[in-house]
Structure 1
Amino acid sequence: MKQDLIAKINQAEQQADSTNANKRVIPPLQNWQPKFCGDMNLKICANGEWWHEGSKMTRQSLVDLFAKILWCEIDENNNAHYFLKTPVEKIGIQVEDAPLHIVAVNQIQQYNQTFIKFCTANGDEFYLDKQHEIRFGLPFNNAKISADMLEKQAEQPYILVRQNGESVLYGLIVRSIFYHLVAMGELIEKNDNVYLQLISGDETFELAM
């Protein structure tokens, strides 16, 4: 029932945007099985910038297009490997931290309840729910980043943004956005620990601080 309500809200928003020809649609990457075509000199930096062959990508429309076809695979050593994936090719890229960045969070009133809604820098929009939970640190390693970055990640908040089959893409909740999130919730003490309690719809989430 809880997820049905989220689905109902998403459906209503989709219908409201049905006349928008530029509506963001994520392709069915999980259905594509292309061959690996090698690595590309493209890096998503820890600050969210995209760099190609040593130059910062400044065309946001192109970055948003590439972000739609991001794919992540986890190997047997729990290391994450990132790709750009199309129906005919899979190209390896480098990701320093999380591939997506959360740039907005708002409380939305729907059906006499308050929901917490997130937005990435590339236009992904979703609600805090059981399919999009917040955690400190990522659930896997990144074989292509430094030990210092791995240690830093353990102290940063992330949220699952998108899942296509076995691929999972997380978004970094940047510090300013996390402060807004804290203001939306309540700090509680439990078992000698401090938790941030957040309510989205009729679900309650507790994040150990």
Structure 2
Amino acid sequence: MTNSPSSGKAAGTRPFDADALSKAIGSEAGKSLPPVHLWTPEYSGEIDIRIARDGTWFHEGGEIRREALVRLFSSILKLEDGKYFLVTPVEKWGITVEDAPFVATDMTVTGEGRDQRLTFTTHVGDGVTAGPDHPLRLGCTFETPCPYVEVRAGLEALIDRKTFYRLIEQGVAEDHDGASWFGVWSDGQFFPLIPTDELR
């Protein structure tokens, strides 16, 4: 799912200013995430910000190298009707996301069997335990997998290859919807990944 940015300024709006946006949300973004779900500003336009499949952020073709700015922007991401936006209490800017807005780069395992918990860390420092509120899913194919875990409010993290291999090591076969599936347990929920008869 992607947006397709046009210009950095919509009719009747002021130009996008990254520093001004950073200051506007600075007071809201403390140790906890900003209350993005409560912010419903008018649409401000499209801006040339792109999140690449590997999680790298670009603005007008150049990589955003300020880690603090990337983390701040990632905290005000919002997904609406399949499109991604950066939002503040007064602005709503459409951006492009090539795949998922986050990348899960590490995983810790606690517990065993059905009591197992799989906790992922994203490239911007989010920590999320797969479970009923943070489902896992496998896109593409098992041969060329695109595994995802939901971070918050529909925003997903693409699980990177090395972490996916570790995830597979935790896999077991279970009955699911009347068939045998290979998948993983986390936080009391079984996540089916592929029918066992399709495993090679």
Partner of residue 118, structure 1:
120
Cα gap change, 1:114/1:155 in structure 2, threshold over 3 Å: closer, same or farther?
closer
TM-score by length of structure 2 reads: 0.72
What residue number does 2:98 align with?
A: 96
Deviation at 1:128, TM superposition (A): 1.3
Report the alpha carbon displacement of residue 52 of structure 1 after superposing the two structures with TM.
Answer: 0.6
Q: Which residue of 1 aligns with 2:51?
A: 44
* Partners of 2:124 and 2:31 in 1: CA distance: 9
In structure 2, list runs of 5 or more residues that go unmatched: 1-28, 196-200
Matches within 5 A, 1:126-137: 126-137=128-139
Q: 1:201 to 1:53 in 2, by over 3 A?
A: closer
Distance 1:187 1:175 in 2: 21
Q: Which residue in 2 is equivalent to 1:169?
A: 155
Match of 1:108 in 2: 110
Counterpart pick for 1:185 among 167, 171, 176: 171
C-alpha change, 1:190 and 1:93, in structure 2 (3 Å) is closer
Which ranges of structure 1 fall in alignment gaps of 5 or more residues? 1-21, 75-79, 138-149
Matched residues in 1 for 2:189 and 2:175: separation? 19
Q: 1:25 aligns with which of 32, 38, 47?
A: 32
| Separation in 1, partners of 2:101, 2:175 | 33
Q: Which residue is equivalent to 2:71?
A: 64
1:122 Cα deviation from its structure 2 partner: 1.0
Please tell me the residue identity of whatever aligns with 2:71: D
Shift of 1:184: 2.0
The Cα RMSD (Å) is 2.8
Residues 53-99 of structure 1 show CA distances to partners (whole Å, capped at 9, x for unaligned) of 1111111111000000001111xxxxx21110000100011111001
Deviation digits for residues 39-64 of structure 1, max 9, x if unmatched? 11110011211001111111111100
User: Between Structure 1 and Structure 2, whose CA radius of gyration is higher?
Assistant: 2
Letter of the structure 1 residue corresponding to residue 135 of structure 2: E
1:81: which partner in 2? 83
Name the count of aligned residue pairs: 163
* Rounded Cα–Cα distance in structure 2 between residues aligned with 1:24 and 1:39: 29
SS of equivalent residue, structure 2 residue 116: strand
- Matching residue within 149, 161, 165 for 1:159: 149
